[in-house]
Amino acid sequence: MKRNILNSLDSTVRPRENLPSTRYSIRFFIYTIFVLANFTQALASDKDVVAATGSLLIRGGWLFDGISENRRRNSGILIHDGKIVDVDFLSNEQSSTLARVIELAESETILPGFIDLHAHYNLDLIDQGRAEEVVYNGIVFLANGVTATWSAGEFYPERVIAQRDLIEAGHAIGPHLFVSGPYFGAFRCEYNVSVAADECAAWPNNITEKEIRDEVDKWAQEDVVSLKIKQATPDEAKIIIEQAHKHGMTTTGHLANYNVEYDVSTRDAILMGMDRIEHQLTLALGRDDPRSAQMNEMVDLMIKHQVYYGPNLQMYGGINLRNAHPTEMTWADESKYFTPYTQARLLQRGIPSPESEQKEYDQRIIELMALYDAGGKHLLVVGTDEPVYTNMLPGFAYHRELLAMTYAGLPPIDVLKAATINGAMALGVADRLGSLESGKSADLLVVKGNPLEDIKTARSIRLIMKAGQVHDPEDLLRSAEGKIGPAGPTDHADWAFQVKPLRD
Ligand SMILES: [Zn+2]
């Protein structure tokens, strides 16, 4: 059956004005394709998987494009070959039949695909450190509307790169997987290093400048887009940042974490050219801590140097947030995506203590809102930082983070921008991702409700599209049930952290 889209337009749709002629010709080109191909497929329901090479019109409901200050009525998003061809498309302009149309309800809103700028794929499931699980974690991310992730430090970068390549080749399902490579600094040895004197074979204390530059070069060749610095000395950090920038890579850091000489202060890192900061600006313990006096200076530096900031509230708030808002912070059974054996182990482990005390958490909120109030709202990004010590998963944690950011005092519109366009800008991929604009990858989600009023509706997802391919969230989640973690006691080999020495 052919779908005639000429006659049923909603009268409230805004008229288009002054279209540049190039856009008309792109449209004409597409009409020509439709006519020539004589498409006769039935209408796509949202249960169908629509091939990325097909053409698709999503019409009705509301649209938040990632950039505007509000949502607007969706007259149509036209998608072809995995890309957005047109937004605010009025489908009665020419006589045409489109191959597939997805009609949205008045209650539904289209959003750009979410971006997680601190998306760990590593999990600690057998009490032997963290190891990457990239297959089903990615599916759970995607099912939650997260269409792009940057993994903020990997212990098995090879696994992440292999999965990235499978996804990009269309042989596996998952978000755009931006790779970080291994940690740059002594955290490459995970928690085995706690003071400066501790030796890390993967990042020796006497690592040379050449070794550092060679390491950066090595991962640049693997198309790593951004590096994570953690437990590097100021001298090391300076070299890492400089060498990364030579390759067009950005850097971020988990800083001010240890009062020892192998850490870099936020101030020094910003002056060295670090592009983003994770977790905290000062790590003061509340407003009265002398360190909090530095906060205004850090905020000014962040704005002056346009440094992005991911506060990772849901991780630091952790159990306290879940106790304070039990039904809002947990709404799904996340444990069922682990293997039965892993579920039992996690149950035995119990609930970990909060990652930060209430006083320290309060300071994180103060810092976040200080940066926002000083004019830094475009510098905020969303990162889950969920390395999985519990039976909860980073894909779901994304929605905990969105909610925690509104609890901190941010308006939902600015949280949604942090989740979309800001993340793409911070990662240097805003030419392709982060907003619903013509020419960009068709990465979006349709949610049942208005997330600009209630951010929780962003987790009520009807469909997800990544690079033009439509996914049903329930199908994705079902495919991941019972899959994460070892199958039994003889299956531990892939799930333990192992140090790979830097030198032969
Ligand atoms: Zn992290």
Describe the crossing of helices 412-419 and 394-407 by its angle, rounded to 10 degrees: 140
Tokens of 405: 């950011």
The whole-number pLDDT of residue 120 equals: 96
Q: What span, in angstroms and rounded, lies between the C-alpha atoms of 4 and 7?
A: 7
Q: Residue 165: enclosing H or E segment and its boundaries?
A: helix 157-168
Neighbours of 490 (CB within 10 A): 7
The whole-number pLDDT of residue 92 equals: 62
The whole-number pLDDT of residue 36 equals: 37
Q: Ligand 1 centre and the CA of 20: distance in Å?
A: 45
**211 CB-near residues (< 8 Å, 6+ apart):** 502
Q: Ligand 1 centre and the CA of 502: distance in Å?
A: 22
Q: Ligand 1 centre and the CA of 99: distance in Å?
A: 44
Q: Per-residue pLDDT tens for 391-421?
A: 899 999 999 999 999 999 999 999 999 999 9
Q: Give the residue carrying structure tokens 């937004």.
A: 87
Tokens of 408: 């901190």
The whole-number pLDDT of residue 421 equals: 98
Q: What span, in angstroms and rounded, lies between the C-alpha atoms of 464 and 142?
A: 7
The whole-number pLDDT of residue 356 equals: 79
Tokens of 305: 């140097």
Q: What span, in angstroms and rounded, lies between the C-alpha atoms of 472 and 142?
A: 10
Measured in whole angstroms, how far is the alpha carbon of residue 212 from the centre of its chain? 28
Q: Ligand 1 centre and the CA of 118: distance in Å?
A: 6
Q: Ligand 1 centre and the CA of 30: distance in Å?
A: 44
Q: What span, in angstroms and rounded, lies between the C-alpha atoms of 48 and 5?
A: 20
Nearest residue to 231 via CA among 297, 184, 281, 272: 184
- Helix or strand or coil: residue 97? strand
Q: Give the angle subtended at the CA of 220 by the CAs of 216 and 223, to the nearest 5°.
A: 150
Q: Ligand 1 centre and the CA of 394: distance in Å?
A: 11
Do residues 398 and 325 touch, judged by C-beta distance below 8 A?
no
Q: Ligand 1 centre and the CA of 149: distance in Å?
A: 13
Exposed / middle / buried, residue 341 (Cβ in 10 Å: 0-12, 13-18, 19+): middle
Describe the crossing of helices 209-220 and 234-246 by its angle, rounded to 10 degrees: 40
Q: Ligand 1 centre and the CA of 387: distance in Å?
A: 7
The whole-number pLDDT of residue 26 equals: 47
Tokens of 291: 């360190």
Q: Ligand 1 centre and the CA of 230: distance in Å?
A: 9
Q: Ligand 1 centre and the CA of 356: distance in Å?
A: 14
The whole-number pLDDT of residue 398 equals: 98
Q: Ligand 1 centre and the CA of 488: distance in Å?
A: 27
The whole-number pLDDT of residue 335 equals: 95
- Going from the first residue of the chain to its last (504 residues), give the mean pLDDT of each consecutive group of 10, the final group possibly shorter: 32 34 44 38 37 75 97 95 92 59 96 98 93 96 98 96 97 98 95 86 96 98 96 95 98 78 86 95 75 87 97 90 92 96 92 80 92 97 88 95 97 98 97 98 98 98 97 98 97 93 92
